[in-house]
Structure 1
Amino acid sequence: MTSATTLKLPQTLKARIAAVAHELDKTPHAFMIEALAAQTEHAERRRQFVVDALDAETEVATQGLIHDADDVFAWLRAKVAGEAPHRPRPRKRGKRA
Structure 2
Amino acid sequence: MVVADQGNWVADVVVVIEGTANISPYIESLKNNYIVPTLEHFNGGPSDDRDCGCDYNSTLYTLVVFMAADCAPEPSTTCFSPTPSTSKFISWLDKVS
Q: TM-score, normalised by structure 1?
A: 0.21
Of Structure 1 and Structure 2, the greater strand share is in: 2
Of Structure 1 and Structure 2, the greater helix share is in: 1
Q: Which has the higher contact order (CA 8 A, sep 6+)?
A: 2
Considering only CA atoms, is the larger Rg found in Structure 1 or Structure 2?
Answer: 1
